[in-house]
């Protein structure tokens, strides 16, 4: 059992969001659901919490009501092994009302912020040659979805 879990507060879409997120990542599944009882505060029988795993990491989603919407103050970062993975996740997470943001950030249709980042970005941006690293950062600052080909070109000064 994971000692520390990320807890996500949804209005009423916890189960829907958990099913959606688990469909996007390997080694992911819904592991449990609790329901509100007669004592409330939700409607008796409706979903209260959903426990799920994304790539082996546990999360809990609560249907807590509209009082606390998501903000960019917290986001989930996904390290992607390829541009194809970046593209697939970006497209899925921005679909149906999601919003593209700057520098690899987006909000999904539930308002949760994500950073979809190719793993190679850290290598390119962390190059010991400060000019190469700065060109990569400058290129990233002009992007929404991160484009690994363009980041590589910036790194090489092309």
Specify the CATH number for the domain of residue 21. 3.30.720.100
Distance of alpha carbon 153 from alpha carbon 135, whole angstroms: 9
The predicted-structure confidence for 76-118, as pLDDT tens digits, reads as follows 999 999 999 999 999 999 999 999 999 999 999 999 999 999 9
| Beta carbons of 62 and 70 less than 8 angstroms apart | no
82 is in which domain, residue-wise? 70-158
Task: Judge whether residue 153 has pLDDT over 90.
Answer: yes
Looking at the structure, tell me whether residues 119 and 64 fall in a common domain: no
What b-and-e string marks burial along 63-83, b requiring 16 or more CB atoms within 10 Å of the CB? bbeeeeebeeeebbebebeeb
User: Residue 102's pLDDT is what?
Assistant: 98
Looking at the structure, tell me whether residues 87 and 111 fall in a common domain: yes
Tokens 């970006």 belong to: 90
User: Residue 70's pLDDT is what?
Assistant: 96
Distance of alpha carbon 115 from alpha carbon 128, whole angstroms: 24
Distances (CA, A) of 78 to 45, 46, 112, 156: 34, 31, 13, 25
Looking at the structure, tell me whether residues 158 and 122 fall in a common domain: yes
Looking at the structure, tell me whether residues 20 and 56 fall in a common domain: yes
Distance of alpha carbon 96 from alpha carbon 29, whole angstroms: 22
User: Residue 30's pLDDT is what?
Assistant: 98
Count of structural domains, the chain: 2
Looking at the structure, tell me whether residues 104 and 52 fall in a common domain: no
Looking at the structure, tell me whether residues 13 and 86 fall in a common domain: no
Task: Judge whether residue 1 has pLDDT over 90.
Answer: no
Task: Judge whether residue 151 has pLDDT over 90.
Answer: yes
User: Residue 40's pLDDT is what?
Assistant: 83
Task: Judge whether residue 27 has pLDDT over 90.
Answer: yes
Backbone angles phi, psi at 142, to 5 degrees: -95, 5
The tokens describing 49, both together, are 């919490």
Output the DSSP codes for 93-154.
HHGGG-EE-STTEEE-TTS-EEEEEETHHHHHHT-SSHHHHHHHHHHHHT-SS--HHHHHHH
User: Residue 2's pLDDT is what?
Assistant: 87
Looking at the structure, tell me whether residues 85 and 155 fall in a common domain: yes
Residue that wins the pLDDT comparison between 143 and 41: 143
The predicted-structure confidence for 32-73, as pLDDT tens digits, reads as follows 999 999 998 999 999 999 999 999 999 999 999 999 999 999
Distance of alpha carbon 13 from alpha carbon 75, whole angstroms: 18
């Amino acid at each position: 059992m994971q000692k520390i879990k990320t807890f996500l507060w949804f209005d009423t879409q916890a189960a829907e969001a958990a099913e959606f997120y688990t469909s996007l990542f390997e080694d992911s599944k819904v592991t449990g659901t609790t329901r509100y009882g007669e004592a409330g505060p939700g409607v008796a029988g409706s979903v209260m919490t959903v426990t799920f795993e994304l790539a082996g990491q546990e999360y809990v989603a609560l249907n807590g009501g509209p009082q606390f919407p998501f903000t960019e103050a917290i986001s989930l970062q996904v390290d992607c092994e390829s541009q194809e993975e970046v593209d697939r996740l970006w497209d899925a997470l921005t679909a149906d009302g999601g919003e593209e943001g700057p520098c690899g950030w987006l909000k999904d249709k539930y308002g949760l912020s994500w950073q979809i980042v190719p793993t190679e970005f850290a290598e390119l941006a962390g190059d010991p040659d400060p000019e190469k690293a700065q060109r990569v950062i400058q290129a990233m600052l002009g992007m929404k979805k991160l484009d690994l080909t363009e980041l590589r070109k910036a790194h090489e000064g092309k």
